[in-house]
Amino acid sequence: MTGSDTVIATHGLRKAYGSLRAVDGIDLDVRAGDVYGFLGANGSGKTTTVRMLLGLVLPTAGTVEVLGRPIPKAAREVLPQVGALIEHPAAYGHLSAAANLSLFDAAGPGGVRRTRRSRIAEVLEQVGLGGVGKRPVRGFSLGMRQRLGLAGALLRRPALLVLDEPTNGLDPQGIHEIRTLLLDLNRTGTTVFLSSHLLAEIEQLATRVGVLDRGRMVLQDDLATLTAPTGATVVDTPQAERARAVLGDRVLSADGDRLVVRGAEPAEVNAVLVGAGVPVSGLTLQRPTLEEVVLAAATGSGDRVAA
């Protein structure tokens, strides 16, 4: 049984194509209110996993639960509460964005006709297509098509958003707008499951991350835990050699004017250096970046990484 706050749970999920294990026994744990960053290189098994979550691909072994119900058995009950964007969004090029969304809403379970027009106008505005909703989609750029796909995912005001590379094809301004939209949706109660290979983007969005490497889950934890202070302080000083002489074996590493010093109290480190006449231009607690954590997990090294 999964807890009442669990939105996505998989147990021993596996998908094999002949001798190739595209997904190899993963246990996902996505909780209500998460922005869950599902990370991995292209070809690591992310999209296959997403397709199994939505009942589009049947697993070879293991189980999937979404919103507390088994998938694919309860897909008809669950999927109207899930908005999804997977790979490249499909659309009829000769129809407008609004017409495409109307067809999409009418085709699946859960679309309410009396609110359709207002919902379409709302989501087109949300994703930045409010001014072009009547234009034929064949004239849309890749980024505009991606926005249209996201509008389709939002159309039924879902409790859960499952997005596979949602910023694909967007320029920096578009990426910023979609990031802001997703954070706003999350603040109003939508759980977001975001599959991506863009570490920097996930680091700005996620509250929790899972890392897939060659089909296996190598890391899953809260982002705040993974990037917590290491117990060291980073010191910037124009007199690095003098600082090293003063601090002695407290210096863990040095790179030019930057030292990493044992001790999680920057004020204490600053007092020692200033008291010895060493100027200090910067002090901060050392924290690993998400990139460092992911690389350590993928190579099987690092005390902070739990498989």
Residue 304 confidence (pLDDT): 39
CATH 3.30.70 placement within the chain: 232-286
Nearest by Cα to 141 from 128, 155, 122: 128
Nearest by Cα to 85 from 167, 186, 204, 179: 167
Task: Give the up-direction half-sphere exposure of residue 159: CA atoms within 13 A in the CB hemisphere.
Answer: 15
Q: What is the pTM of this model?
A: 0.85
Is residue 198 exposed (0-12), middle (13-18) or buried (19+ Cβ within 10 Å)? middle
The pair of three-digit structure tokens given for residue 64, joined into one six-digit string = 């999937």
pLDDT in tens, 106-122: 876 666 788 889 999 99
Superfamily of domain 6-226: P-loop containing nucleotide triphosphate hydrolases (3.40.50.300)
pLDDT band at 4 (very low <50, low <70, confident <90, very high): low
CA distances 231 to 50, 173, 228, 261, Å, are 37, 36, 9, 9
Q: Which CATH architecture has domain 232-286?
A: 2-Layer Sandwich (3.30)
CA distances 125 to 71, 247, 279, Å, are 32, 57, 52
**pLDDT at 303 exceeding the cut of 80:** no
pLDDT in tens, 164-214: 988 877 888 888 888 888 999 999 999 999 999 888 889 999 999 999 999
Residue 233 confidence (pLDDT): 96
pLDDT in tens, 131-168: 888 899 999 888 888 889 999 999 888 999 999 988 87
CATH 3.40.50.300 placement within the chain: 6-226
Backbone angles phi, psi at 9, to 5 degrees: -140, 130
pLDDT in tens, 249-299: 999 999 999 999 999 899 999 999 999 999 999 999 999 999 989 888 877
Nearest by Cα to 199 from 216, 173, 219, 185: 219
Residue 114 confidence (pLDDT): 85
Nearest by Cα to 185 from 98, 101, 108, 83: 83
